[in-house]
Amino acid sequence: MANQKNRKNSNKNDWTSKVNSDQIYQHMIRSYLYQDKLSWSRTQTLVVVEGGLLASSYYCVGAPLAVFILLFGTLIVWFIWRLIQRDWEVRDQNLENHLDKVHLDKGIKMVKESTYWCSRGSTIVRIIVYALIALNIILSICYFLLSLGVETINLQTIFGVK
């Protein structure tokens, strides 16, 4: 029995000596690429959800259901957006501290610095998602007013501009 326990304990510690730096590097690269692909597939999902959301709410325009669809759908869009941001965090966790150190010694940079503030995909996606959420909220207000019977919406009255 004591032999079996010692063998189990030694097996637990043995795996660390069998992993070399090449395997760790390959895993980190694969993980980086996986998280990047995952975030972009979730971005595509967000676009599909938003398209269905706008189409279904437009179909129900004038009914209270349109407001519910927009608000509930906006909540779903927000959760997908949070997943995308988490994917970016997990993707980039080893970038500066580990991967860039390996690559910089060889003159390679994993991510090129942006020349403009809006030239990164993550910045552009962030702007688009916040614009879509704002659009959904504005449309839900308009659809709510339409469901109350308000035929014309005077933006000057709503925003207090004369």
Task: Indicate if the pLDDT at residue 108 is higher than 60.
Answer: yes
Q: Which two tokens stand for residue 73?
A: 């759908």
**Which residue type does 110 have?**
M
Confidence of residue 126 (pLDDT cuts 50, 70, 90): very high
Lowest mean pLDDT segment, chosen from 17-26, 39-48, 143-152: 17-26
Domain residue spans of the chain: 24-159
Confidence of residue 8 (pLDDT cuts 50, 70, 90): low
Confidence of residue 83 (pLDDT cuts 50, 70, 90): very high
Task: Indicate if the pLDDT at residue 119 is higher than 60.
Answer: yes
Per residue in 24-42, pLDDT (tens digit) is 778 788 888 898 899 999 9
Report the alpha-carbon distance of residue 127 to residue 29 in Å, rounded: 28
Task: Indicate if the pLDDT at residue 78 is higher than 90.
Answer: yes
Contact (Cβ atoms closer than 8 angstroms) between residue 58 and residue 141: no
